[in-house]
Structure formats: C-alpha cells, structure tokens
Amino acid sequence: MAKNSIFRGSGVAMVTPMKENGEINYEVMADLIEAQIAGGTDALIICGTSGEAPTLEDGEHLEAIRFAVEQTKGRVPVIAGTGSNNTAHAVMMSEESEKLGADGLLLVTPYYNKATQDGLYAHYRTIAGATKLPCIVYNVPSRTGTNILPPTVARLAKDQENIVAIKEASGNISQVAKVAELADGNLDIYSGNDDQIVPICSLGGVGVISVLANVAPRQTHDMVMMCLEGRYPEARALQLAALPLVEQLFIEVNPIPVKAALVMQGFAVGTPRLPLTEMTQAHQETLRAAMQEFGVL
C-alpha cells in the first residue's frame, strides 16, 4: 500500500437520493449508508459523479458530506468529492470538507477548460497543499476531455506527500500499467471502471471506486478481496458474471441507471436532477433482468 493509504477494497461511488421536490433525502441517505456498511463496503465516496456533484449547490454538497461523516461514525472512511475545473473552488471545498471530518478527497481532473500536463500538476499540488487530507486523483477522460498522463501522476505522487492514490477510469489498461510502473509503489491505484476491477488489481491495484457497489456491495467487495488474496480464478469468474449488469448500469449515462436500480431494490432515491432524466422504460426492463440474473433483485 502507498503512503497514508485511505482504503483497500470496494469504495462505493454513492448516489445522492432526492425527494420529489428535488431536495436531498437524508433519511434515505442514512439507509443507503447503513446498507453499504452492512454489505461489506470499505469506503464511501460522497458527491462524486454518481452523487450528481455538478448539480449540487455548494451548501447542500457540503451538508451531504457532513451528514455522511456523522452517519458513518468512523466505521469506514468517508471520501468527499471536491474536484472542480476552478482550482480555487476545489481548494475551498476541500478545506471545508476537511473541517467537516472527511477522511479523504476525490479530485477529478479539470473539465471543459482542460489543462496542460504542467497545469494539471500545478492544479493538484495547489489543492493538496491546502489540506492535510489524503487525496485521490480522478482520471476520467471520457467525461472531462483531459487525460492526466502517467509521468504527471508519478511526479505528483513523488512531490506531494498527501497525493496517495489515483482512480483510473481511462479504460486504457496500458496506461494503468505505466502508472503502476512509474509510481513504483508510492501510489494506490483504484479501478474507476467496474468491468476492469480484476485486470487493474492484477497490475497492483488495491481496489475500486464503484458504481456497481451501490446495488451489489457484497459481490464488489468480495471481488477485490479475492484479488488481494491471490484468488484470481474466483475473482475472474465473479468479474465476468457481473459484466451483463455492469453493461446495463451504463446503458444510459451514470447515475441514471443506478438510481433506477436502487429504486427497484426498494430505496426511494428518486430521479436525477436535470439535465439528467429518468431511465427509459425499455432500458429499465433490461436492467431489471440483469439484476435478477446477478442475484441482486
């Protein structure tokens, strides 16, 4: 494990449950947190992509983090999504999340305005330098239009003590391998894609930050633990069995399908805020079938 590691295993990229009027539903959030901890989830990621961070106002974003910390009571780490394409805003949200008791930060690469590799380096060092919390770099080029390259990641891990991990969602296994090589054990690698948990663990990854874990916490946790214990044939079988459900959880843009899936499981998480919309009926039917096949409905 890297310096100041936050967790090993399955970190759930939690949804933010909403009432019919669009407000955050804290009663349901408490139920989700309890279900995740009971299901073996090793860390909670609050207000990331799956938590609809782009449409949360700062006040409710921070209140969701405060509530999660209070509800969790230290049983598992709470990691706050505080990334932004405005470095100063990310610094402010990170500082406030530290005051609220978060155990770590998830920091997405700047989106829309993008940045050079030198800009990404300066962005992350500025945010990490403003907090004592361990920081996870989040690389998801399909959403941000920006790819933080392995040499930049390795440089950050070497130069900034509290940059301790990367959530790798580039989908490029060769890139993940290069990160593992250059970081040389100084950085925890988490899979950011639920269909690549086992491949990334095989390259030295220590876990996943997962959408699948919202609806299949035990299976996602077990898959990582099998890898960490060297039980790769079992892990591979579980990874392949999960693929049809993973495909359905991304048949529309995340978190549209996972919110629909949680409703099917009996959690009143509501529908996403605009510009995201409710899942189509046809896709709900294929999602339901995949959930039944995987044994989570």
- The single-letter DSSP state of residue 192 is S
* H and E: helices and strands count for the chain: 12, 8
Contact 70, 102 (CB under 8 A): no
Nearest to 201 by CA among 5, 6, 8: 8
Cβ atoms within 10 Å, residue 159:
12
d(CA 103, CA 5): 11
19 is catalytic: no
d(CA 1, CA 175): 20
- The single-letter DSSP state of residue 195 is G
Beta bridge partners of 191: 168, 208
Sole residue written with tokens 């919202």: 214
Contact 139, 169 (CB under 8 A): yes
d(CA 139, CA 170): 6
Query: Coil, strand, or helix at residue 276?
Result: coil
Catalytic residue among 138, 178, 190, 259: 138
Catalytic residue among 124, 167, 190, 259: 167
138 is catalytic: yes
Q: Which long-range contacts (CB under 8 A, 24 or more apart) does 251-254 make?
A: 251/283, 251/286, 251/287, 252/279, 252/280, 252/283, 254/49, 254/50, 254/211
Nearest to 270 by CA among 16, 12, 98: 16
Known catalytic residues are 138, 167
